[in-house]
Structure 1
Amino acid sequence: MSFNIALSGIAAAQKDLNTTANNIANVNTTGFKESRAEFADVYANSIFTSGKTAVGGGVNTAQVAQQFHQGSLASTNNALDMAIRGSGFFVTSSGVDSKDLSYTRAGEFKVNAGNYLVNSAGDYLMTFPVDTAGTSTSVSLTTTQPVKIPDTAGSPQKTNNVGIQLNLDAGGGTLDPAAFDPNDPSTFNNSTSVTIYDSLGEPHVLTTYFVRPNDGAYTGSSNWVAFYAVDGNPVDLGGTAGTYGTDTTGDGNADSTGTAVTSGGWKGSVLTFNDTGAYVSSDPGVITTEQLGVGGANVLGAGTDGTQAITIAFNNPTQYASAFEVTQLSQDGTTVGRLTNVEIGEDGLINASYSNGTTVPLARVALARFSNEQGLTQVGNTSWKASIASGVALAGEANSGTFGSISSSALEQSNVDLTTELVDLISAQRNFQANSRTLEINNTLQQTVLQIR
């Protein structure tokens, strides 16, 4: 009996040594969770056994339990590296269409040949689908899918609308709109430009010229004339030219109400301000250019949508006695964009930025947690699978509820404390030696018994 007790002690000490050695071997493994060998004593039970005289039968390994406390985070230069600060696991799949899910804390992700995010083992990072605003449309493991990083931002979109917000200098000089010439800066007060796009994504420059008429100001009202050009070519309005009242007699009152804004082949619009410099109205009320690819303009290249026209909205412009200043320029067209950056937020939202200035939400990193983490089944590559002991996986978004937040450009290091492991190694070695000594003494006693005559 004592031989078996000593042998169980040696086996337990060996198990402890193996567990400690494995912890030490993985001290630099990203996302690794240290293990602890847990032992239980062995006693034979019977209804006729006397508890006062029972001698134990040795030791048994009850469990090698992994410890899932947080490891320290190390910063990296890779935006696709991720670490979970708090509870939760990344969800991975072995194939694009596979639902054989694994769970890991190692966030060393990269882009494979198919532009999917994968880990070092080639498993796909699973994510929740999102809408164009970045809101998750489903938070369920059954709807998770691998995330693909597109290298282009879709098809180009032609510009339909341009927004301008600015201040026109009330102290500037006055000019004759009929003498306007875009090649002569002395014939206009100011100008501003914005890049627009045709239906093929080709960029063009829309320039707006501002002229303060020498007869367009009178009691309580001031007018400005705006002319438009694309790539330096004059662009008329889609309808009639704007009109403004004039003070031709100099008495401070408008004595003519229908002066059309024309200059050579140019038709312009009119902006009207009150005596406090606030915007009152425009004429036409909706400023839309003529069709850019046909007719008189014809400023777009072959193969484009020739019916394209630009609606120009002046967003609360002002006329103050301060320098000309453009505070906002916007347009709704895009060209084909090339991928320039990928960012991952604390909530797991993956955004792709492109060279055309667009930012597209792609997906949200899926996290999972378990009622009993120590019940997970180890499958290698710092991954686990759900089991009966762990319970079913509960899915959720990062930085919400009991789920931790995601740190981009960071990795969770192994939670192994090397100093503690070295002490445990010495302790396990002493236990092994002591049990070996017990086995040696038992052998000596048996030899003594056998030598009795």
Structure 2
Amino acid sequence: MSFNIGLSGIRAAASDLNITGNNIANAGTVGFKSSRAEFADVYAASVLGSGSYATGSGVALANAAQLFNQGNISFTENSLDLAINGNGFFVTSNNGALSYTRAGYFGTDANGFIVNNNGENLQGFGVNAVTGQINQGVQTNLRVDTRSADPNETSAVVTTLNLNSTQTRPEVYVQQYDAAYAASIATAADPANPTPAEIATAEAAALDAARSTFDPTNSATYNSSTSVNIYDSLGNSHVMTKYFVKNDANSWDMYVLIDGRDIQSGVEASDPAFDPLATTRFDVDFNSVGELTTNQPYTIAGWVPLDSEGQPTGATSPVDDLTVNLTGSTQYASSFAVTAVSQDGFTTGELAGLEIDDTGLLVARYTNGQTRVQGQVVLATFANQQGLTPLGSTAWAQSFSSGDPVVGAPTTGTLGSIQSGALEDSNVDISEQLINLIVAQRNYQANAKTIQTEDAVTQTIINLR
């Protein structure tokens, strides 16, 4: 009996050594979870029980339990290296066969799919091609779309600015206005006493004459200007410039040109055929406390995008619903200043980088400054993690004991968060494992001594005469 007891002890100590050695061997394995040997004593029992004074029959390895406590997180330079901070496993697929891992070595294959270092596809939620929203609950192989980002034509330009209330009308404007007014009044039936209608006619003629002096190439014909880049439907960049000319105490003319051309005719401002009276102009009025009173926004219709040679770019022509909004602009006694400007268009963009946030959203960043969500990494958890079946390569498979996986987005429920550009280290404590080696060695030696002692006793009996 003692031989068997000692032998069981040696086997148990050897198993302990194997488990401890495996832990030490994988101390540098990303996502590895250490194991521990769990032993149970053995008693021989008959059908009616083992009795009150049963002696033990040795020891058996009851379980090699894996410890799923958190490992340290080390940061890397690869945005597709992922670490889980908290509960959960990455889900990977090998042609439909699912496995679960904490090792976050990920990259892309030749087709753009995100795979681990074993070539298995990382699972996640895809994106609805129409709405651009995450398809919650529908797992798929995550893929990085490397195509260029589509351009978006500008439909709205929003500018907030201050027009200097102390500025006066341009000198050439005043001169032309006065001359035209005097000339018109001179044609009245009684120039010394013109009728209200004749005065109104003279003022209209004078205003047209004054406005005809506007010349975008001559800064003496306007008070202030500001520009912003806008985009057509093909992503071509154009420059929209707004010119402001004061025509009364609280009233301004705003002229709008695109690429230095009249919006309707496409004539360049430097061309003799350029007609200031026919170009796009809007009234900008303020009240006595400097607040904008003109209804917003202004609408520009009929713009035909042209290239630098004045030829159509092939973009949408005309671009509909192009608006200019000055809401929030003021007229105070301070220098002209643009405090905010924005527009909703952008050119085409190439993929510049990938980012994965703590909720698992895969965000593509493009050279045009835009971002686009391309999917969401999912995590899985189990009611009994100890019941998972080890597959090797730091992966586990679902088993009957583990229960079904609960799959969801990171940070939801009991699932942890994801750290991009990082990996989870092995949770092996080398100091603890070295001590375990010493203990297992002592156990092995002690059980061998049991066998040696039993052998000596047996030999004594054999030697009896």
TM-score (norm 2): 0.83
Matches within 5 A, 1:26-41: 26-41=26-41
* C-alpha displacement of 1:450: 3.2
Judge conservation of contact 1:33–1:415 (CA < 8 Å) in 2: yes
* C-alpha displacement of 1:393: 0.3
Query: What is the letter of the counterpart of residue 438 of structure 1?
Result: T
Query: What is the letter of the counterpart of residue 281 of structure 1?
Result: T
Gaps in structure 2 of 5+ consecutive residues: 174-210, 267-274
Question: Counterparts of 2:282 and 2:4 in 1: how far apart (Å)?
Answer: 102
Query: What is the letter of the counterpart of residue 66 of structure 2?
Result: Q
From 208, 224, 244, the counterpart of 1:210: 244
Query: What is the letter of the counterpart of residue 268 of structure 1?
Result: R
Question: Counterparts of 1:332 and 1:406 in 2: how far apart (Å)?
Answer: 32
From 220, 223, 239, the counterpart of 2:251: 223
Matches within 5 A, 1:188-337: 188-213=222-247, 216-217=248-249, 222-236=250-264, 263=276, 265-282=278-295, 286-293=298-305, 299=310, 301-309=312-320, 310-337=322-349
Question: Counterparts of 1:308 and 1:299 in 2: how far apart (Å)?
Answer: 16
Aligned length, in residue pairs: 415
Question: Counterparts of 1:201 and 1:367 in 2: how far apart (Å)?
Answer: 38
Q: Please state if 1:151 is matched with 2:146.
A: yes
Change (3 A) 1:92 1:205: same
* C-alpha displacement of 1:12: 0.8
Judge conservation of contact 1:81–1:108 (CA < 8 Å) in 2: yes
Q: Please state if 1:427 is matched with 2:447.
A: no
Q: Please state if 1:94 is matched with 2:94.
A: yes
Question: Counterparts of 2:372 and 2:214 in 1: how far apart (Å)?
Answer: 43
Alignment deviations for residues 257-307 of structure 1 (CA, whole Å, 9 cap, x no partner) = xxxxx7255231111111111111159x6421423148xx99564433232
Change (3 A) 1:152 1:319: farther
Question: Counterparts of 1:385 and 1:263 in 2: how far apart (Å)?
Answer: 76
Change (3 A) 1:152 1:223: farther
Question: Counterparts of 2:132 and 2:71 in 1: how far apart (Å)?
Answer: 30
* C-alpha displacement of 1:440: 2.3
Q: State which drifts further: 311-320 or 357-366.
A: 311-320
Change (3 A) 1:133 1:411: farther
**3-state SS of 1:387 partner:** coil
* Structure with a larger share of its residues in helix: 2
* C-alpha displacement of 1:370: 0.7
Question: 2:168: which partner in 1?
Answer: 173
**3-state SS of 1:4 partner:** helix
Q: Percent identity?
A: 43
Structure number with greater Rg is: 2
Question: Counterparts of 2:369 and 2:6 in 1: how far apart (Å)?
Answer: 72
Judge conservation of contact 2:43–2:50 (CA < 8 Å) in 1: no
Question: 1:123: which partner in 2?
Answer: 120
Question: 1:23: which partner in 2?
Answer: 23
Change (3 A) 1:24 1:346: same
**3-state SS of 1:274 partner:** coil
Q: State which drifts further: 53-62 or 124-133.
A: 124-133
Q: State which drifts further: 159-168 or 367-376.
A: 159-168
Question: 2:111: which partner in 1?
Answer: 114
* C-alpha displacement of 1:18: 0.6
**3-state SS of 2:456 partner:** helix
Question: Counterparts of 2:225 and 2:436 in 1: how far apart (Å)?
Answer: 77
**3-state SS of 2:434 partner:** helix
Question: Counterparts of 2:309 and 2:24 in 1: how far apart (Å)?
Answer: 74
Gaps in structure 1 of 5+ consecutive residues: 239-261
